[in-house]
């Protein structure tokens, strides 16, 4: 069997590992951290359970596909619970919108702010449907954009639909009320993009949510990580944790092995799920990199980071739904502070994840498990998080308690943990401590994004947020399919196994 080294165990890495192991390769995952999952890790403390990163599960059909690629059924591994509404969005004036996938409920919600906007709801979704069809139904998201011709074929359709305009200006054409413009344009922020320049191909995320729902994995997103891990191990894959890869060995322009804890391990191919800019810069000697030399990497625009607080409280806050957004008065200027000026603004918008609203087992009885996510600049702004963290955390807690009205919040805290941009850098090897890798802008999308098959080194492949199509669980699962196709094209299909063989492998 051909041996593959897979560097990193984020969702993209796990999905690629499953797909390739199921195709008959012998895959070993090397993960730097003690736990698998990458950004989707878990903290358990004093009876509270926190997902550290992704909390919204969209496009469950893409998760099903990973199980199907190995002849299994998602239902045998995981319990997915649909959420309704998807989010509650609190605006700075105290009003709120419950955002759901139900057209009639949404129109009724929107009519409270502007009846004309409510009438535009169907038109908005009809307008975006062709993009959705291209990326999801026709599978462009799962195709590696290795040749500019692939891009050229898609471009006329995207241009005709306005798909290259920024998401915000696309949405603005449909809705007048600023609150609706926010509600349908903020989604790029979920994948590290600015709504004011991410191409409106990403305006199809609301369609993805509406068509396939927003879900929660019982026990938290980490249940999905454990399900993938279990499936991979059942297929005969190997996982080595606390195993940081220090180098990708390149001979005659081809990846031939890796160095882990000082040990050189020869392999037939390397798939990297580590952050692409970081991996090129730190794991591959400059002599082997023509396209992705240090200069090219330094020119990349890197997405924002996040300041995260994991909070366990003895008191519950029912005005918070499972997913809640609390917004500042500023939108465009706040995004500019974070993405372009790289400064920590005085105001903030935030996202709160409160899984106890759906699954009481995430906290002791009567208590609340939540995390607060505040988008902040990446480390290029020079913010020193070691000194900044206590002050910034206090500011956020004061805001939530005194301005937003979470009475008694601070005196009821049992558990308080942080994850800062510096942690993204040191714990996850994220270039500039970014939460979402390379920013999804037009000049860094599809063909212009680092390819799933390395442009510089044969038998080196990338999977995850920094390659095509991009960040987010759906994005990195699609990237696993794209990367699998590159590996199969280059290295052959290993020893393909039939579904029955795959099923008996568990016995
Ligand atoms: C706070 C937060 C909230 C999010 N919320 C959502 C959400 O609700 N829904 C959604 O769909 N998406 C969400 N996302 C985005 C989504 O989580 C990520 O895009 C996705 O999980 C990234 O997966 P990945 O495959 O790129 O791998 P990553 O999760 O980035 O994992 C990469 C792995 O590689 C390992 N590694 C790096 N270097 C080495 C090395 N040298 N040797 C060995 N191992 C190495 C790292 O330790 C890590 O485990 C969120 C992201 C964040 C940060």
**Residue 49 counted as domain residue:** no
Take atom 48 of ligand 1 and give the residue whose Cα is closest.
38
Q: Is the pLDDT of residue 428 over 80?
A: yes
Tokens of 375: 């988008």
Same domain, 225 and 266: yes
Same domain, 312 and 407: yes
CA of 252 to the centre of ligand 1 (A): 31
> Per-residue pLDDT averaged across 436-451, rounded?
93
pLDDT digits (tens, 9 = 90+) for 40-90: 999 999 999 999 999 999 999 999 999 999 999 999 999 999 999 999 999
Same domain, 170 and 230: no
> Per-residue pLDDT averaged across 396-424, rounded?
98
Q: Whole-angstrom Cα distance, residue 496 to residue 288?
A: 32
Take atom 35 of ligand 1 and give the residue whose Cα is closest.
8
CA of 32 to the centre of ligand 1 (A): 13
**Residue 456 counted as domain residue:** yes
Q: Looking at the 3D structure of the chain, how many domains does it have?
A: 3
> Per-residue pLDDT averaged across 23-44, rounded?
98
Same domain, 224 and 75: yes
pLDDT digits (tens, 9 = 90+) for 291-346: 999 999 999 999 999 999 999 999 999 999 999 999 999 999 999 999 999 999 99
pLDDT band at 387 (very low <50, low <70, confident <90, very high): very high
3-state helix, strand, coil in the chain (%, to 5): 45, 20, 35
pLDDT value of position 138: 78
Take atom 49 of ligand 1 and give the residue whose Cα is closest.
38
**Residue 92 counted as domain residue:** no
Rounded to the nearest 5°, which phi and psi values hold at 41?
-100, -170
Residue owning tokens 């990446």: 378
Same domain, 343 and 421: yes
Same domain, 10 and 120: no
Among 31, 38, 352, which residue has the most ligand 1 atoms within 8 Å of its CB, making it the best to mutate?
38
CA of 82 to the centre of ligand 1 (A): 23
Percent over 90 (pLDDT), the chain:
87
pLDDT value of position 203: 86
Dihedral (CA of 228, 232, 233, 239) sign:
negative
**Which burial class, exposed, middle or buried, applies to 421 when counting CB atoms under 10 A from its CB (0-12, 13-18, 19+)?**
buried
Tokens of 236: 């005969």
Among 209, 228, 246, the domain boundary falls at 209
Choose between 354 and 200: higher pLDDT. 354
> Per-residue pLDDT averaged across 237-256, rounded?
98
> Per-residue pLDDT averaged across 162-172, rounded?
88
Atom of ligand 1 nearest to the CA of 427: 47
Q: What is the mean pLDDT of the chain?
A: 94
**Three-state secondary-structure class, residue 240:** strand
Same domain, 255 and 327: no
Residues ≥6 apart with Cβ < 8 Å to 152: none
Within 75-147, residue ranges assigned H as helices are 103-113, 115-132
The 3-state secondary structure of 311-376 reads EEECCCCCCCCCEEEECCCCCHHHHHHHHHHCCCCCCCCEEEECHHHCCHHHCCCCCEEEEEEEEE
Q: Is the pLDDT of residue 401 over 70?
A: yes
**Three-state secondary-structure class, residue 497:** coil
**Residue 85 counted as domain residue:** no
Same domain, 114 and 188: yes
Among 428, 459, 474, the domain boundary falls at 428
CA of 274 to the centre of ligand 1 (A): 9
CA of 465 to the centre of ligand 1 (A): 7
pTM of the full structure: 0.96
**Residue 229 counted as domain residue:** yes
pLDDT value of position 157: 74
Atom of ligand 1 nearest to the CA of 14: 25
Same domain, 155 and 234: no
CATH number at residue 73: 3.50.50.60
Take atom 10 of ligand 1 and give the residue whose Cα is closest.
472
> Per-residue pLDDT averaged across 345-361, rounded?
97
**Residue 165 counted as domain residue:** yes
pLDDT digits (tens, 9 = 90+) for 451-496: 999 999 999 999 999 999 999 999 999 999 999 999 999 998 665 5
**Three-state secondary-structure class, residue 72:** coil
pLDDT band at 507 (very low <50, low <70, confident <90, very high): very low
Among 12, 17, 53, which residue has the most ligand 1 atoms within 8 Å of its CB, making it the best to mutate?
53
Same domain, 448 and 415: no
What DSSP assignment string belongs to 7-70? Answer: E--SHHHHHHHHHHHHTT-EEEEE-SSSSS-TTS-EEEETTEEEESS---EE-HHHHHHHHHHT
Structural domain including 348 reads 304-428
**Residue 476 counted as domain residue:** yes
**Residue 102 counted as domain residue:** no
- The C-alpha angle with vertex 186 and arms to 183 and 192, in degrees rounded to 5, equals 160
Same domain, 138 and 245: no
pLDDT value of position 149: 76
pLDDT digits (tens, 9 = 90+) for 495-505: 555 545 544 44
Ligand 1 shell residues, CB under 6 Å: 7-13, 30-33, 38-40, 53-56, 190, 244-245, 273-274, 306, 308, 373, 428-429, 435-436, 464-465, 471-473, 476
Among 166, 183, 209, the domain boundary falls at 209
Same domain, 137 and 152: yes
Helical (H) or strand (E) element with 217? strand 214-217
Tokens of 503: 């099923």
């Amino acid at each position: 069997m051909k041996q593959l080294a897979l560097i990193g165990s984020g969702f993209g890495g796990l999905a690629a590992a499953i797909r390739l192991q199921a195709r008959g390769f012998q895959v070993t995952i090397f993960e730097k951290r003690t736990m698998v999952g990458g950004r989707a890790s878990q903290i358990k403390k004093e009876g509270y359970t926190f997902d550290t990163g992704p909390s919204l599960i969209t496009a469950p059909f893409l998760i099903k596909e990973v199980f199907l690629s190995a002849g299994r059924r998602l239902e045998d591994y995981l319990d997915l619970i649909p959420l309704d509404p998807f989010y509650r969005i609190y605006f700075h004036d105290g009003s709120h919108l419950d955002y759901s996938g139900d057209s009639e409920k949404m129109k009724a919600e929107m009519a409270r702010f502007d009846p004309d906007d409510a009438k535009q709801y169907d038109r908005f979704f009809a307008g975006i449907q062709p993009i959705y069809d291209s990326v999801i139904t026709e599978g462009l998201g799962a195709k590696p954009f290795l040749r500019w011709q692939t891009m050229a074929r898609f471009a006329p359709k995207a241009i005709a639909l306005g798909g290259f305009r920024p998401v915000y200006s696309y949405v603005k054409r449909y809705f007048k009320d600023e609150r609706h413009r926010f509600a349908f344009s903020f989604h790029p922020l979920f994948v590290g993009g600015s709504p004011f320049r991410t191409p409106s191909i990403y305006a199809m995320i609301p369609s993805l949510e509406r068509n396939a729902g927003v879900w929660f994995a019982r026990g938290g997103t980490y249940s999905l990580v454990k399900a993938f891990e279990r499936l991979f191990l059942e297929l005969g894959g190997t996982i080595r944790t606390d195993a940081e890869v220090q180098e990708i060995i390149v001979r005659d322009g081809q990846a031939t092995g890796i160095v882990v804890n000082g040990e050189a391990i020869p392999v037939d191919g390397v798939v990297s799920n580590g952050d692409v800019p970081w991996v090129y810069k730190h794991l591959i000697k400059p002599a082997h990199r023509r396209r992705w030399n240090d200069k090219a990497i330094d020119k990349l625009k890197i997405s924002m980071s996040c300041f995260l607080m994991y909070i366990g409280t003895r008191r519950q806050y029912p005005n918070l739904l499972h997913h809640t957004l609390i917004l500042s008065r500023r939108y465009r200027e706040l995004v500019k502070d974070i993405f372009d000026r790289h400064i920590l603004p005085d105001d903030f918008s935030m996202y709160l994840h409160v899984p106890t609203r759906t699954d009481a087992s995430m906290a002791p009885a009567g208590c609340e498990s939540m995390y607060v996510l505040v988008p902040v600049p990446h480390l290029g702004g020079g913010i020193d998080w070691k000194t900044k963290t206590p002050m910034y955390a206090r500011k956020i807690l004061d805001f939530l308690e005194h301005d937003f009205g979470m009475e008694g919040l601070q005196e009821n805290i049992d558990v308080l943990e942080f994850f800062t941009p510096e942690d993204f850098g040191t714990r996850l090897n994220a270039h500039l401590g970014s939460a979402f890798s390379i920013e999804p802008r037009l000049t860094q999308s599809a063909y212009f994004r680092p390819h799933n098959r390395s442009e510089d080194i044969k038998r080196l492949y990338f999977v995850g947020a920094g390659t095509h199509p991009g960040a987010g669980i759906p994005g990195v699962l699609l990237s696993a399919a794209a990367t699998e196709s590159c590996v199969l094209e280059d290295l052959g299909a290993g020893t393909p196994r039939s579904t029955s063989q795959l099923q008996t492998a568990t016995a």
